[in-house]
Amino acid sequence: MSSDKPLKSSRPEPSGAQLSDALMRTTHALRRFAGQPYQQRGWSPSRVLLMLAVNEAGTPRMGDLKDRLGVTGRSITSLVDGLEDEGLLRRYHDPGDRRSTRLEITAKGHEHLGEIRALHEAHAELTFGILTDAERATLVDVLERLRDHVAGRLPEPGDHRSPPVA
């Protein structure tokens, strides 16, 4: 963890558009940087996200994961095919709805998740090591507040009306 002095700026207050642009650029850079340790092992970010999502959900339906990850049915099927071929995931028919397919992580998949978590933790410390403890806490608070503010303005799923501007 860095003990560098907290960020102070003599710049004028940024506009909402400047904040949005800075956040978008930072998010893009962070996503690219965060994917590096996985890509060095030949793992796509989609593969890692799918494994993490299945782990978090337990035994999710493929359709639910498709919606959660924002991918097409074809994409999720292709990802699951590859992970199943490697013995990391197993699919089975949902006993409560024979039209649905559920996923579960295999023992080999849990070992793989351990490697993913270790990589994630080490890389996240590298990424955020520049921030002091106080800056980390402030960043989490600001990001959560912003997320809650924006999420409250999003339309419900299936509602194709534009959200209010002001």
The structure tokens listed for 164 are: 């209010």
Q: What is the pLDDT of residue 11?
A: 80
Structural domains of the chain, ranges and CATH numbers in brackets: 33-151 (1.10.10.10)
Q: Is the pLDDT of residue 163 over 90?
A: no
Structure confidence by residue, pLDDT tens digits, 40-97: 999 988 899 999 999 999 999 988 888 888 888 899 999 999 999 999 999 999 888 8
Reported pTM = 0.71
- Is residue 53 within 8 A of residue 89, CB to CB? The reply is no
Q: Is the pLDDT of residue 1 over 60?
A: no
What average pLDDT score do residues 127-147 get? 96
Q: What is the pLDDT of residue 158?
A: 61
Q: Is the pLDDT of residue 9 over 70?
A: no
How far apart, in whole angstroms, are the C-alpha atoms of residue 103 and residue 90? 6
In degrees and rounded to multiples of 5, residue 112 shows phi and psi of: -60, -40
Give percent of the chain above pLDDT 70.
88
Higher pLDDT, 92 or 98: 92
Confidence of residue 6 (pLDDT cuts 50, 70, 90): low
Rounded mean pLDDT of the chain? 88
How far apart, in whole angstroms, are the C-alpha atoms of residue 32 and residue 62? 26
How far lies 49's CA from each of 1, 54, 69, 104, 126, in Å? 26, 9, 8, 14, 20
Q: What is the pLDDT of residue 142?
A: 96
How far apart, in whole angstroms, are the C-alpha atoms of residue 89 and residue 146? 35
Radius of gyration of the chain (CA): 20
Higher pLDDT, 22 or 7: 22
